[in-house]
Amino acid sequence: MSTVSKSKVTATEPLDPKDARWVKLVKLTYTDPTATVRTWESAERLTRPHGSAIDGVGIIAIMQNDPAHPSAPPRILLQKQFRPPIDQVVIEVPAGLIDAGETAEACALRELREETGYRGRVVEGFGMTPVQWNDPGFCNTNVQMIHVTVDMSLPENQNPKPELEESEFIECFTVPMTDLYAESERLEREGYAIDARVGTFAEGIEVAKRWKLV
Amino acid sequence: MSTVSKSKVTATEPLDPKDARWVKLVKLTYTDPTATVRTWESAERLTRPHGSAIDGVGIIAIMQNDPAHPSAPPRILLQKQFRPPIDQVVIEVPAGLIDAGETAEACALRELREETGYRGRVVEGFGMTPVQWNDPGFCNTNVQMIHVTVDMSLPENQNPKPELEESEFIECFTVPMTDLYAESERLEREGYAIDARVGTFAEGIEVAKRWKLV
């Protein structure tokens, strides 16, 4: 059993808003297209920096010049991380919350270095996606995806040393992008949960293959 | 200006948990891999039916035999819908919450019919994705994506009549799947928000094209 699989939720209780440090609920009043006044309930993170348009970034990190996979198709860097909200180990891309005043690209390179030890380079001309809203009928959280290449032949990427906080436990692995959908199905059968950034991205690749969109 | 663009959030206030009907906050206690006891804050929907593994479904609906686009590449059905949590009109796939006892496939065909009026058929052998977790560091919400084809030559799809609730306002349109990424960038520049199921799916298609994964 891997280290990350040893975590477990042991208790669940209601959270009083006055004790909440990371999340909150809001009641929204809005007018619909007929000018009728309606209400909606929403959840929000408390961590988005003032003035920032996003909560954080996800990182599509494509490994290049890897001596371990010399002739393979491009591989994507993934993580296994235990997530208390679903009491499961999740298959995710590297990701993290943005700091005040930080650009999305700088956040991506910092989080990649901290979580995986790898030094990446933002892909020119295709570095940053539109803002993606995680579940906009339920909450206001969002993420911007940053595309990065990691040159595995560089000295700085020979012995990656993550800089994890003492509460963080992350395991890295890579998957050929052509196999990502089949791998996500296999990993789910093994008991892992599939983060939407991995699952929906894999779904897009798979549809491009099946419908010959290229 | 389209009808859906006429909605607007007019007030935001804290939501007292005792008044909440749709969402809640929970405090989780968990043990990490070193057996250290830690806590986490999470948001949840109150609507997931007892015994259901998912909150709802998203629908990748691919339009076929469309006389309006006889020789075009496959087109995907999208929606514009105002979402109060982000006070914006969102570009989404058809989607909806699952009913008690309902299969994900049945939910998808029902929601497609209710939201768009179209009758679809689940794609054989590629109908249902792994469960995709929307933001598992923040909440427990999830969705399963169902792939459906809509045969536009069938009589039942000639005059689609959505069955919307009186609080629902949805506009449908289609986009060639090969152009989905560029379209999502264009729609964001026009002021629309991009739902993650659209944005990350488009990103996967675009990466398959750029890295020649097919």
* Spans of all domains in chain B: 53-210
> Across residues A23-51, what is the average pLDDT?
97
Q: In what order do the strands lie in the sheet with A37-45?
A: A37-45, A23-31, B8-14
Span A127-139, pLDDT tens digits: 999 999 999 999 9
Q: What is the pLDDT, as a whole number, of residue B67?
A: 86
Q: What is the pLDDT, as a whole number, of residue A1?
A: 54
DSSP B179: G
Determine the residue of chain A that is closest to B194 in CA distance.
A132
Q: Do B201 and A208 touch (CB under 8 A)?
A: no
For B28, the closest of A12, A177, A208 (CB atoms) is A12
Average per-residue pLDDT for chain B: 96
Q: What is the pLDDT, as a whole number, of residue A67?
A: 86
Q: How far is CA A115 from CA A80, A110, A111, A119, B160, in A?
A: 11, 9, 6, 11, 49
> Across residues A45-71, what is the average pLDDT?
94
Of B83, B112, B97, give the one whose Cα is nearest residue B4.
B83
Give B53 to chain A, closest Cα distance, Å. Answer: 11
Q: What is the pLDDT, as a whole number, of residue A214?
A: 75
Q: Do B42 and A84 touch (CB under 8 A)?
A: yes
> Across residues A4-17, what is the average pLDDT?
96
Span A103-128, pLDDT tens digits: 999 999 999 999 999 999 999 999 99
Rounded-to-integer distance, Cα B194 and Cα B90, Å: 6
Interface residue A169 vs chain B (CB under 8 A)? yes
Average per-residue pLDDT for chain A: 96
Of A203, A181, A133, A184, give the one whose Cα is nearest residue B60.
A203
Rounded-to-integer distance, Cα B133 and Cα B136, Å: 6
Of A91, A120, A90, give the one whose Cα is nearest residue A107.
A120
Span B34-90, pLDDT tens digits: 999 999 999 999 999 999 999 999 999 999 998 888 887 899 999 999 999 999 999
Q: Could you report the average pLDDT of every consecutive run of 10 residues in chain B (214 residues)?
A: 88 96 98 97 97 98 91 92 98 98 98 98 95 98 98 95 95 96 98 98 96 86
Q: Do B25 and A43 touch (CB under 8 A)?
A: yes
List helix spans (H) across A41-166.
Answer: 104-116
Provide the chain A residues 58-97 that lie in CB contact (below 8 A) with chain B: 60, 62, 73-74, 82-88, 90, 92
Of B60, B145, B57, give the one whose Cα is nearest residue B99.
B57
CATH number of B53-210: 3.90.79.10
Q: Do A28 and B85 touch (CB under 8 A)?
A: yes
Q: Is residue B163 within a helix (H) or strand (E), and if so which, with residue range?
A: none
pLDDT grade for A93, boundaries at 50, 70 and 90: very high
